[in-house]
Amino acid sequence: MIVLGIESSCDETGAALVREDGRVLSDVVASQVALHAPYGGVVPELASRAHLRAIMPVVEQALAVLPDGLARVDAIAVTEGPGLVGALLVGIQAAKAIAWSRGLPIVGVSHLDGHLLAPYLTRPAEGDGARPSTAGVPAMPYVALLASGGHTALYEVRSPLDIELLGQTRDDAAGEAYDKVAKLVGLGYPGGPIVDRLAQKGDPSAVALPRPMAGRGLELSFSGLKTAVAQHVAQHGAPADEQGLADLCASFQRVVVSVLVDKSLRACEARGIPRLVLTGGVAANRGLRAHAREACDRAGVELFVPPVASCTDNAAMIAYAGALRLLERGPRADEIVPYSRDPERRRGRM
């Protein structure tokens, strides 16, 4: 089975072809980062319009790897939420129109399920259909930390259709905190990669910052930490030189990373599951990867971190999650019905 995945929940327009075994045949992402950078965050109306311009070229590019294009596709999977409503609608309407024209089934996929199942994607660069030997793939059940610009939460993944939320942020997502701290001290957008890079050169004990939700089960919070950075800047001024910036970034990053890793391991222990997956854009963070690796080794927990292209927003993860839903529940399950030519069919969910 080959599934065409479409993703447009935030600021990346994505289309991908994926087989039901996780093999990625194509994965195209049109990023809107440059469009939103002047505003320091995603502007929803601009995002919707940019998705409209990008969606068909991106889909066509994804299909171009198949000699027969759409004729070889068996189903369409599209992100149905969570996300920006106007942005989601562009992907959903495109998916419906393509499905209607070819009589293909469409399955609606949660963006979060896509992120959580991303470790099973295998990309061409990883060689000849084989699973990547260094990263491996986790057996189920596993604990997953999903940390991105919109979400930060811990899950137990028991099967593709049996996923339990264990704890989540009460306010800002971790990536959002990175982006806001970067904006506060005049770094660019998105802030995560810039703060990460600067943090490598800084002293993590230079600025004392609070550890949010230290004793509180699996709950997380990043808004107070961001405010603590804002207060530090208000009192001492924004760091004037590169070393001062690096010290502040390193101090902030140390707290974020240590809270994320501690809570993740706490979740593994609480559930008796010695397998941890890091996913979402923040899983690209070098500090998080390194600290998680050390802490997992110490705790006897196996760590799985998919390649960055699978962690950040992409349509391959949506296609794969959709393929699994179709296989487990059958073609009519969860189906979004395109504006139907058949008066007997129920109307679509969106």
Task: List interacting residues with ligand KG4 (CB under 6 A).
Answer: 10, 148-150, 175-176, 178-179, 190-193, 196, 280-282, 284-285, 312-313
- Using the minimum distance from each CB to ligand KG4, give the nearer residue, 104 or 292: 292
Binding string to Zn ion for residues 144 to 173, with x set by CB under 5 A, is what? ----x-------------------------
Kindly state the smallest distance separating residue 91's Cβ from Zn ion, in Å.
13
In angstroms, the CA 14 to CA 318 distance is 10
Binding string to Zn ion for residues 104 to 133, with x set by CB under 5 A, is what? ------------------------------
Kindly state the smallest distance separating residue 280's Cβ from ligand KG4, in Å.
5
For position 179 contacting Zn ion by CB under 5 A, the verdict is: no
Q: Cβ contacts of residue 267 below 8 Å, gap of 6+?
A: 143, 145, 154, 156, 166, 167, 218, 273
For position 80 contacting Zn ion by CB under 5 A, the verdict is: no
Q: Which does 178 bind (CB under 5 to 8 A by kind): Zn ion, ligand KG4, none?
A: ligand KG4
- Using the minimum distance from each CB to Zn ion, give the nearer residue, 109 or 228: 109
Pairing of strands 106-110, 142-147: unpaired
In angstroms, the CA 235 to CA 322 distance is 50
Kindly state the smallest distance separating residue 12's Cβ from ligand KG4, in Å.
7
- Using the minimum distance from each CB to ligand KG4, give the nearer residue, 27 or 196: 196
Asked whether the beta carbons of 336 and 348 are under 8 A apart, the reply is yes
Binding string to Zn ion for residues 302 to 321, with x set by CB under 5 A, is what? -----------x--------
- Using the minimum distance from each CB to Zn ion, give the nearer residue, 122 or 148: 148
Give the number of other CB atoms < 10 A from CB of residue 205.
Answer: 10
For position 7 contacting Zn ion by CB under 5 A, the verdict is: no
Q: Cβ contacts of residue 317 below 8 Å, gap of 6+?
A: 5, 7, 114, 115, 117, 118, 121, 310
Asked whether the beta carbons of 232 and 260 are under 8 A apart, the reply is no
In angstroms, the CA 318 to CA 268 distance is 26
- Using the minimum distance from each CB to Zn ion, give the nearer residue, 145 or 184: 145
Kindly state the smallest distance separating residue 147's Cβ from ligand KG4, in Å.
8
Q: Which does 284 bind (CB under 5 to 8 A by kind): ligand KG4, Zn ion, none?
A: ligand KG4
R_g of the chain computed on alpha carbons: 21
**Contact region with Zn ion (CB under 5 A), list: 94-102, 143-151, 180-188, 203-211:** 143-151
Asked whether the beta carbons of 90 and 78 are under 8 A apart, the reply is no
**Buried/exposed code over 228-264 (b: 16+ C-beta within 10 A; e: otherwise):** bbeebbeeeeebeeeebbbbbbbbbbbbbbbbbbebb
Asked whether the beta carbons of 314 and 16 are under 8 A apart, the reply is yes
- Using the minimum distance from each CB to Zn ion, give the nearer residue, 153 or 209: 153
Length of the chain: 350
Q: Which does 196 bind (CB under 5 to 8 A by kind): Zn ion, ligand KG4, none?
A: ligand KG4
Residues engaged in binding Zn ion (CB under 5 A): 148, 313
